[in-house]
A and B are shown apart, each in its own frame.
Chain A
């Protein structure tokens, strides 16, 4: 069996005395969608940031397409990052640039020095893919609503056609209907690209919609990992407590 596209092996990360990741083991196959669920402060975001290299894990191995990436630095890291796209929780649009320049950012900067006219046409095309009209292209991000910002962020993440896309809490802060719209867009856009995706969320509706596989993280370890359609019959007390949203169970919430 070939190695999955992205593999994390025994990844540890501490911040001072706080041991956030305690040996994360998880993998996702090429073109598949993994959703990592878990409560707040369990290490979801830190896991993503370790893969992206925004944080350096203390120990363990992270491999993308068989290549060890934890000790990449400089231009080698930039090259590796060119294969990634990410939708941030708050969309993280550049507020000094208008909407189309945000979407086209990955096309115009870095090694792909695309001309403005060409990049703008692609940006408008990507905006259409996420259901936004060309009249928004010259708007400033500050003028957009939360749902629109998420859509622009999604358009920006998919514009350079990356092979791997990360979604950080894609539905947080949106109403349930807009959340579902975003979920559908994520599924459509990533299937179209054939991209491998990792999503972190605590929204089960979102997880069920997006996921091929689900992994549950608790206290910095993966406590369950399996196909999305087995989540309801996992017989895992952690998973059962989480998906039913119960305060009682093995998961202790620190108040």
Chain B
């Protein structure tokens, strides 16, 4: 366990110091932005929509017990931007992207393609790890921004169709209530989660060994450790960013 933490720390150091140093492979970064960011939009959008809708229903049910059902729009907006937007997007992208990175790099590792990069005077950290980390850190806040909007929209759709809220009032309540820091703190979380996702995918991919089974194990480990780290980091960031 301790050795694993040490290996991960060393890997993180290499990923940051070597992976982000020039030469930069812009084409790789662009490819990864497409794969990590753009192609994650549907799954993140759907997740956010249903989460926002369910959240509206739950808050309404809870709110009626205290005659506070008119707070639905505010609490949905707050819950989505500060907490559920980044966390749900982070977990969905972990499942999609950390797994894909671990499987791809794991296969490259066991077929010696990563060694081959080295012998072609290309540093694997710069060519493989750096672009994935940059792409994930850049695109996660955008994904979460989209998730925020769609999540609030989900709450709005449920609120105005089945809970009987007035459309204009719902929107006004949301926009009046949400503060700039609610959104930015969620986006800061998103950038950190992006780093975790790419790092976990790369770390487990680079350390996979022993053929197909090893690659499978690497993929599982990437998703599990990525999800746990995201939830732990979420708690740490929440207490850092919000406790004033």
Contacts and interface: CB of A to CB of B under 8 A. Distances in A.
A233 to B, nearest CB: 36
B179 interface: no
A160 B113 contact: no
Contacts of B111: 90, 92
B121 A110 contact: yes
Interface string A30-59: 000000000000000000010011100000
Given A81-B121, A109-B122, A110-B121, A92 B116 contact: yes
B156 interface: no
A94 B122 contact: no
Interface string B117-159: 0111111000100000000000000000000000000000000
Interface of B: 18, 23, 25, 108, 111-113, 115-116, 118-123, 127
Given A54-B118, A106-B121, 15 more contacts: A49-B115, A78-B121, A78-B123, A81-B118, A86-B116, A86-B119, A88-B116, A90-B111, A92-B113, A109-B25, A109-B122, A109-B127, A110-B122, A156-B120, A166-B119
Contacts, number: 59
A104 B5 CA distance: 38
B118 A110 contact: no
Contacts of B122: 105-106, 109-110
A84 B120 CA distance: 8
A140 interface: no
A23 to B, nearest CB: 25
A85 interface: yes
A98 interface: no
Per CB-CB distance, the 7 closest pairs between chain A and chain B, nearest first, are: A82-B121, A92-B116, A92-B112, A86-B119, A106-B120, A110-B121, A109-B122
A109 B116 CA distance: 13
A25 interface: no
Interface in A71-115: 74, 78-79, 81-82, 84-86, 88-90, 92-95, 105-106, 109-111
Nearest to B110: A90
B121 A94 contact: no
A110 B108 CA distance: 19
B118 A90 contact: no
Nearest to B123: A78
Interface size class of A (residues with CB under 8 A): 20 to 34
7 contacts: A86-B116, A88-B112, A106-B120, A109-B121, A110-B23, A110-B122, A156-B120
Nearest to A153: B116
Interface of A: 49, 52-54, 74, 78-79, 81-82, 84-86, 88-90, 92-95, 105-106, 109-111, 156-157, 160, 166
**Considering residues B108, B112, B116, B127, which has the most beta carbons from chain A within 10 angstroms of its beta carbon?**
B116
B116 A89 contact: no
A193 to B, nearest CB: 15
A174 B23 CA distance: 38
B112 A105 contact: no
A14 to B, nearest CB: 16
A44 to B, nearest CB: 15
A95 B122 CA distance: 16
A49 B18 CA distance: 21
Nearest to B25: A109
B121 A111 contact: yes
Max chain A C-beta neighbours (<10 A), residue from B112, B120, B127? B120
Nearest to A159: B120
A127 to B, nearest CB: 17
A84 B23 CA distance: 20
B24 to A, nearest CB: 12
Nearest to A106: B120
B127 A52 contact: no
Nearest to B108: A94
Given A110-B122, A160-B120, A88 B127 contact: no
A110 B120 contact: yes
A94 B108 CA distance: 8
A157 B123 CA distance: 16
A90 B127 CA distance: 21
B121 A92 contact: no
Nearest to B115: A54
A86 B121 CA distance: 11
A105 B115 CA distance: 14
